[in-house]
Amino acid sequence: MRGAFAARRGAPRLAAAMRGASAHRAVAPRRAARAMSSDAAPITDDDLEVTSTKVLHRDPAAPLPVATPSGAFAVVRLGGTQYKVTHDDVIVAEKLDVAVGTTLILDEVLLVGSEAATVVGRPTIPNAKVICQIEEQTQDAKVVVFKKRRRQNSRRRNGHRRDVTLLRVTEIDAGEGSDVVATDLEAMDAQDLFKQHI
């Protein structure tokens, strides 16, 4: 009884708070629409042509640090799932109908980054690609599906193993963000230069 009375007593406050929130929500878009209609410039097609955004992790006046392939990373979309990958990573993806040993080019690159900067695609980065090698077609670890209806003498135990494809990342090509990620040759030259100075 005490709990029911307390719930009834708090109900008007809750309802008033919800009314206030909904009224505030309804007013905010009108204010935004008024502000846009009064002084805002019309949106042109040139404004919508942005394909990626570059975010620097340093002062723009400072020299660009040497980016190495091992420090570069990318976020790719493969089969409706996003994976963050670096050089020589292994991706466990849903089954792909591709032969083992084949080279696969993933062109849906959403983000490329390194220690120097990050390039974010809108939604993808033009001309960017991640090159992978198909390593294995196998099955995932078994998942046991156990169902029981208590007091009914009813039990069911099934196992399930999904088919997966293992891919190894061999190269990350940044496309329009190429100043973010160095090529293998540039990185090897930079590492040789670094070893000579030590």
pLDDT at 83: 96
| Residue 96 CB-density burial (10 A; 0-12 exposed, 13-18 middle, 19+ buried) | middle
- The whole-number pLDDT of residue 193 equals 44
pLDDT in tens, the chain (198 residues): 455 555 555 555 545 444 544 444 444 444 444 444 445 455 454 555 567 676 766 666 666 555 555 578 999 999 899 999 999 999 999 999 999 999 999 999 999 988 777 888 888 888 899 999 999 999 999 999 999 999 999 999 999 999 999 999 999 988 766 666 554 445 445 445 444 444
Main-chain dihedrals φ then ψ at residue 149, nearest 5 degrees: -110, 110
> What is the pTM (predicted TM-score) of this model?
0.60
Q: What is the pLDDT of residues 52-88, one digit of tens each?
A: 676 766 666 666 555 555 578 999 999 899 999 999 9
Domain ranges of the chain: 2-40, 51-197
CA 186-191-196 angle, 5° bins:
125
Nearest Cα to Cα of residue 180 among 50, 77, 84, 58: 58
